[in-house]
Amino acid sequence: MKTYYILYIIYILNIIFSPLFISNKKTLCDFLIINSYIFIVILSYYIYKYRMIKLITRVSYYGDFDCNNNYIVDNYLKYIYKLALILFGGGSVLTIIFKIIKAPIFIDISVFIILLFIWTILGYRYSKKISNK
């Protein structure tokens, strides 16, 4: 659990101190968006690795993760992690592509919010699906 809090502290400190080293606002925004993608992927990995069941139970449809059926829990946590890896890994690539084609930062932020929404909805639907088993 300590690594979970250390991860949050590093992320917050990165947000606070990155403006000191990056003076260009567009580059700073791109850096912070990619940083957010990486943070979510690492967070989902820690949730999967350390089986943070109480955190997942609060945000999922399947409210009884403390049951004896570890197979369901492992599958769900693995699904959340792989989904985050695919969505936010792709989002990082999109951020780099948007930087190359010089798209406005609004598009990049919109894509991040949409991917976060998709990740949440798909995780919720999967938890609803396994609760019917």
Question: Does the structure show a pLDDT above 60 at 80?
Answer: yes
- Residue-averaged pLDDT of the chain: 76
Cβ-proximal residues to 127 (8 Å cutoff; 6+ apart), any chain: 60, 61, 62, 76
Distances (CA, A) of 6 to 9, 43, 46: 5, 11, 11
Binning pLDDT at 50, 70 and 90, where does residue 5 land?
Answer: confident
Q: Of 93, 73, 83, give the one whose Cα is nearest residue 116.
A: 83
- pTM of the complete model beyond 0.75: no
Question: Does the structure show a pLDDT above 70 at 69?
Answer: no
**Under 8 Å between Cβ of 39 and 14:** no
Mean pLDDT of 39-46: 79
Domain that holds residue 97: 2-131
Q: Which two tokens stand for residue 129?
A: 């699906």
How many structural domains comprise the chain? 1
Calpha distance 122→68 (Å, rounded): 24
Q: Of 36, 39, 25, give the one whose Cα is nearest residue 105.
A: 25
**More reliable by pLDDT, 118 or 51:** 118
pLDDT tens digits along 24-33: 888 888 888 8
